């Protein structure tokens, strides 16, 4: 009969000790468990394998030297263009605060809401502009996305394709050519698009559009003079 009591007392102590152990140990052992998880590979490997086969992450890149477009699944700080063999820098940048250095990357440059470009050329596959362009210029080999609050002069920006983020209003003077145009905010322009123009839900396109592919999603608006001729 005393045995069960002892046992329960011991159990209680053990629980307390284990909890203390766990609490005291948690901050430090937290890093070690990560590598420790690697030794038991059966579950991990299976998970990783399934992850790769189901969701391969494909990064679209456009060579900033020859314009060739390709995709890669593995991410690295440098890669080379399969066509012209140029070694390409492939890093992403987030610019917050003042910036006046030139940047050339096959990755993405995001000029955040607090970012101010004072000078220098920013050249990247994709550029997201949410801050101020006070000097210098932007060149996106693929997408230029303009977010709400962005301050810029369109004359200092070049892009293959344009995305107008939700909550953003853009007015472009004169005829402007892009490949694709993705409109989630408001765009007033005289557009010539060689690719696809998509007005997303909540987006509005006004002005003129000349191109071959137009899609207006449910909830998207259009009040423009259209010349849509299939082909190409
Ligand atoms: Zn190239």
Ligand 1 centroid to Cα of residue 82, in Å, is: 7
Residue 1 confidence (pLDDT) above 70: no
User: Model confidence over 3-43: pLDDT tens digits?
Assistant: 444 444 444 444 444 444 444 443 433 344 444 444 444 44
* Spatial separation of the C-alpha atoms in residues 146 and 153, rounded to whole Å: 12
Which of 57-66, 107-116, 184-193 comes out lowest in average pLDDT? 57-66
What is the reported pLDDT for 24? 42
What is the reported pLDDT for 22? 43
What is the reported pLDDT for 199? 98
User: Model confidence over 161-194: pLDDT tens digits?
Assistant: 999 999 999 999 989 999 999 999 999 999 999 9
Over residues 194-199, the mean pLDDT reads 97
Ligand 1 centroid to Cα of residue 68, in Å, is: 5
Ligand 1 centroid to Cα of residue 167, in Å, is: 35
Ligand 1 centroid to Cα of residue 80, in Å, is: 8
What is the reported pLDDT for 61? 86
What is the reported pLDDT for 232? 55
**C-alpha neighbours within 13 Å on the C-beta side of residue 88:** 30
CA 76 → CA 6, 72, 73, 164, distances in Å?
A: 60, 10, 10, 29
Ligand 1 centroid to Cα of residue 87, in Å, is: 9
Ligand 1 centroid to Cα of residue 70, in Å, is: 10
Q: Which of 45-59, 61-75, 167-181 has the highest mean pLDDT?
A: 167-181
CA 232 → CA 89, 212, 228, distances in Å?
A: 33, 8, 12
pLDDT confidence of 54, banded at 50, 70, 90? low
To the nearest whole number, what is the mean pLDDT of the chain? 82
Backbone angles phi, psi at 36, to 5 degrees: -60, -30
User: Model confidence over 136-149: pLDDT tens digits?
Assistant: 999 999 999 999 99
Over residues 88-100, the mean pLDDT reads 94
What is the reported pLDDT for 148? 95
What is the reported pLDDT for 44? 41
């Amino acid at each position: 009969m005393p045995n069960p009591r002892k046992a329960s007392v011991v159990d209680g102590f053990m629980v307390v000790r284990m909890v203390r152990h766990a609490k005291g140990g948690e901050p430090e052992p937290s890093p070690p468990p990560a590598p420790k998880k690697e030794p038991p590979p059966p579950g991990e490997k299976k998970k990783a394998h399934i992850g790769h086969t189901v969701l391969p992450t494909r990064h679209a890149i456009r060579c900033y030297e020859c314009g060739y477009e390709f995709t890669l699944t593995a991410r690295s700080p440098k890669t080379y263009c399969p066509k012209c063999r140029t070694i390409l820098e492939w890093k992403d940048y987030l610019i917050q605060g003042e910036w006046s250095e030139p940047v050339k990357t096959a990755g993405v440059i995001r000029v955040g809401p607090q970012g101010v470009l004072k000078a220098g050329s920013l050249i990247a596959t994709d550029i997201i502009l949410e801050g101020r362009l006070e000097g210098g210029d932007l060149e996106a080999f693929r997408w230029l996305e303009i977010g709400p609050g962005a301050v810029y002069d369109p004359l200092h920006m070049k892009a293959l394709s344009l995305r107008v983020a939700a909550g953003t209003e853009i007015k472009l003077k004169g005829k402007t050519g892009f490949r694709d145009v993705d409109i989630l905010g408001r765009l007033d322009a005289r557009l010539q698009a060689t690719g696809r123009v998509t007005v997303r839900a909540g987006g509005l396109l006004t002005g003129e559009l000349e191109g071959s592919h137009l899609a207006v999603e449910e909830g998207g608006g259009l009040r423009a003079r259209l010349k849509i001729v299939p082909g190409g």
